[in-house]
Every structure is written in structure tokens, then in C-alpha cells.
Amino acid sequence: MGFELEHDLFQVLARCADVRHQHGGMDSKPPPDREAITAALLRLLAERGPDKTLDPAEVARALAGPHPDGWGPLMQPIRRIVTDLAGAGRVIILRKGKPVEPADLKGVYRLRLPQRD
């Protein structure tokens, strides 16, 4: 992982911890790291199966709770992880129901698992 990505992820995770504290939700649970985000994303996709799609905000809410101040800051790190996973062939990124290349990812998107033969 490059320094810039690590630094950005660290800043987002620190903001998540601050938001939880400000909203009275401070618990002993640390903010999610890259591995936790990846695991949650792949788990939620596997639970859906290969024919169903997943909104990346569902991953963020699963990790940080229902309040947008908690899960909102996770959306950019999730997007970066999604592009890495798609580049490795582990997920498919969909825009308007059609697959897109990770480099072409813009705007609203959904995810699904690759089809198995």
C-alpha cells in the first residue's frame, strides 16, 4: 500500500473515531482498517450470491453504524479498495447495471461477485 493511501485511510479512520466520540457512540471497538473493510465487503457480497448486487454504502454502514457521520467517511476508502479488488478480478463494478473498468469508475456504483462457470 502506498504512503498516500495509508495516510488517507488513517485520516478517515481517525475522523470516524472522533465522530463516534462526538455522538456518544465511543466504544472499545477500533475503527475499521483496510483488512476489515475488505473482509466485510467480500462477506456481504458472498452472502448475497453472484446474481445480486451490493451498494458500497451497505459495507460502510455494516462497519460504522447507521449514522452518516460514522459511515460517510468510509466511502472513499471503500472506493479505493473496490478498485483494487476489481483490478484483481475479485469483484465486478457496475454502473447503470453494466460492468465498468476500475479506472473508469465515476459516480454511483454497485458491486457483485464475478460469475463462476
- With a threshold of 0.75, does the pTM exceed it? no
Query: Over the stretch 13-67, which tens digit does the pLDDT of each residue have?
Result: 666 665 555 554 545 467 799 999 999 999 999 999 888 999 999 999 999 999 9
- Order of strands, sheet of 110-112, starting from the edge strand that comes earlier in the sequence: 98-100, 92-95, 110-112
Domain covering 3-24+32-112: architecture: Orthogonal Bundle (1.10)
Task: Count Cβ atoms below 10 Å from residue 95 Cβ, excluding itself.
Answer: 14
Percent over 70 (pLDDT), the chain: 74
The residue ranking higher by pLDDT, 93 or 14, is 93
Longest distance between any two alpha carbons in the chain, whole Å:
49
